[in-house]
Chain A
Amino acid sequence: MARVIVVTSGKGGVGKTTSSASVSTGLALRGFKTAVIDFDVGLRNLDLIMGCERRVVYDLINVVNGEANLHQALIKDKHCENLFVLPASQTRDKDALTEEGVEKVLKELTHMGFEYVVCDSPAGIERGAVMALTFADEAIIVTNPEVSSVRDSDRILGILQSKSRRAIEGREPVREHLLVTRYSPKRVEDGEMLSYKDVQELLRIPLIGVIPESDDVLQASNQGLPAIHLKDSDVATAYLDVVARFLDEDRPLRFVNYEKPGLLKRLFGGK
């Protein structure tokens, strides 16, 4: 089977889709044949973030219902050779997503030679979110250093540990990775924001990376370009590190310490 990675968080707006787009792109850049699936039926957005919204013809529900085959529904990414996007349906209701249907899609992707399937989960703990994590082998828990996000992440971890196939069948548990996003080292230093260590201590799962808060993320989504493509930006570098760590490479954490701006920077400004 292709390795299934769910990107989830419980809370909305913490960076799931941004992270799904960048992690799947990163895996494809490393040469793995990768598919990224939007599970947010009714509120699809991955297509916009990936910049393929005008090429959507068929979607996940069409494939589940047998109205289209995967070859017709998968959209080839324009920036990356090995990457394909499977958009969510914009019109149908969430009940259209069934466990059997999702399993069928994942099996077919495996037959097509996909090595990784990234599932972009919707927010919440309803059907769509549960479907996205049901077949997961790995889970990236996207968390902001903020009380409601941390609590919701803990909740989704509980669901992962009780409702995933691996949990139900008593197999080796889903490998969990904590991804802290929208991190501001300055605010942490000032005692205004939970540190990544605090978050990790609370959630008790291994850390896969810290993505700094950055204006670049908006710039990237404006253009429909996954943030990992923004050459030399902190965000792209951080996501490249995340992908490397996911592939078991050792990378020290970056962008977690606050450096006081030098005199010149303070005088002349600049980012």
Chain B
Amino acid sequence: MSLLSYFQEFFSTKQKTAAVAKERLSLIIAHERSSNRAPDFLPALQQELIQVISKYVNVGADDIKVQLEKQDNCEILEVNITLPEQPR
């Protein structure tokens, strides 16, 4: 290694690759945990909810979001329904 490149490395602000790896992994693992570890019934539940709710209100498939979150020992089933704006 030449003296110049030594100094360049010493003063460079470039991130070390291990740090890059850790950052990428923490993102992808968090993402995959939330999608992979969801129980099998979630898509079916979402479908049925859409059917039931659309009987009464005009909602589309994208207006209902079903999510299961784990916090320590308890699981929280979160159902988010966006109702269409009512014309008055």
Which residue numbers of A lie inside 8 Å of B, CB to CB?
A: 146-147, 150-151, 154-155, 158, 161-162, 188, 190-195, 198, 202-203
**Is the CB of B21 closer than 8 A to any CB of chain A?**
yes
Which B1-35 residues have C-beta < 8 A from chain A?
16-19, 21-22, 24-26, 28-29, 32-33
Cα(A202)–Cα(B19), bound, Å: 12
Residue contact A147 to B33, C-beta cutoff 8 Å: no
Contacts of A162 in B (CB 8 A): 37
Known: A151-B28, A192-B17. A202 touches B36 (CB 8 A): no
Which single residue of chain B is at the shortest CB-CB distance from A146?
B21
Mostly helix, strand, loop or mixed at chain B's interface? helix
The smallest beta-carbon distance between B38 and chain A, in angstroms, is 10
Chain B interface residue count, CB cutoff 8 Å, equals: 15
Which residue numbers of B lie inside 8 Å of A, CB to CB?
A: 16-19, 21-22, 24-26, 28-29, 32-33, 36-37
Residue contact A147 to B21, C-beta cutoff 8 Å: yes
Known: A155-B36, A158-B33, A158-B36. A147 touches B19 (CB 8 A): no
Cα(A161)–Cα(B22), bound, Å: 24
Residue contact A192 to B25, C-beta cutoff 8 Å: no
Contacts of A155 in B (CB 8 A): 32, 36
